[in-house]
Copies of this chain bind each other. A is one copy, B any other.
Amino acid sequence: MIKRIGVFTSGGDAPGMNAAIRAVVRTAIYNNLAVTGIYHGYQGMIEGSFIEMSRRSVSSIIQKGGTILKSARCLEFKTKEGRQAAYDNIKAQGIDALVAIGGDGTFTGANLFSQEFDIPVMCIPGTIDNDLYGTDYTLGYDTANNTVIEAIDKIRDTASSHSRVFFVEVMGRDSGCIALNAGVGGGAESILLPEVNSGIDTLIEELELAEARQKTSMIVIIAEGDKNGGAYNVAKIVKDKINHLDIKVSILGHLQRGGSPSSFDRVLATRMGYTAVNELIKGNSRATVGMRGTKMVITPLEEALNNKEFKLDDELLEIANIMNK
């Protein structure tokens, strides 16, 4: 029977991670389990960076961006020796189950670790990229979308005042989720996504069409992982082809990762943290928590890791086109 849960965040941070930590801690304590916080993810396991968690230690963190347990990427955990050291350390702490909050890499590590050392692990999908299988939404995605939308609204003010074309690059190395949402929600004239090989020609056509409609200002959203080489590069190519355009580039960057989590992310995080602990108590392991519709669901890590969920709704892609045609 589980007596002490270890909780940690790993990989890129995302708004809502603190709310999830809080829910894990409070649900565990409510069920008479002790909780150890592990700093810096897998790195902290290896280095032995632990802290005892109480109800009070997670007070007033639900509204905070980032993660109070810090995060890191950890190469050493990819080695057998690293994982052994980690296991020895958490064993010494009396930790007999884990809740891992993070993305793809975090899940991979959790799965391997759980198999090798037969320790129960539940995962919570925390990444602004929304690129994990097993859930409609990952933690932090909604907040990041709001951050991006607010930035675009501001950029449109100045774009419109000066009749300019803005190329706005948003996060998403492999995933166009933020870009597509921002494109639709921000009313962008064109969107470039890693998943869709639209090419520059389509973009040029869309810009020319917008001009033909007497639009004087335009917003083009470009996902980080777009295959045309990033916002600066695309802007240069377009400028060469339609050189009367007054083009500016804006790379939104890391501010997309921060900020107080939205209502949606806070509630989602709280539900996920609660569910993760309850699943551990029920004896479940090597699985990830998710939300489908309005219900919590559980997916085996194996399944989650072997599937790539295409989260760009085909219909939404079509809608994006129609709205700006």
Contacts and interface: CB of A to CB of B under 8 A. Distances in A.
Interface of A: 9, 13, 15, 17, 22-23, 26-27, 30, 55, 60, 62-67, 70-72, 136, 142, 145-149, 151, 153-163, 166, 181-182, 184-187, 213, 248-260, 262-264, 266-267, 270-271, 274, 292-296, 311, 313, 315-316, 319, 322-323, 325
Nearest to A292: B293
B316 A271 contact: yes
7 nearest A-B residue pairs (beta carbon): A154-B258, A65-B157, A157-B258, A66-B157, A145-B263, A185-B266, A13-B161
Contacts of A255: 151, 154-155, 250, 252
* Secondary structure type dominating chain A contacts: helix
A252 B252 CA distance: 7
B55 A158 contact: no
Central interface residue in A157, A160, A316, by most chain B CB within 10 Å: A157
28 contacts: A15-B157, A22-B323, A23-B323, A26-B325, A30-B322, A62-B185, A63-B187, A65-B154, A66-B157, A66-B158, A66-B161, A72-B162, A145-B264, A146-B263, A148-B263, A154-B254, A154-B259, A157-B258, A157-B259, A158-B254, A166-B254, A185-B266, A249-B253, A262-B262, A270-B323, A274-B322, A294-B313, A295-B313
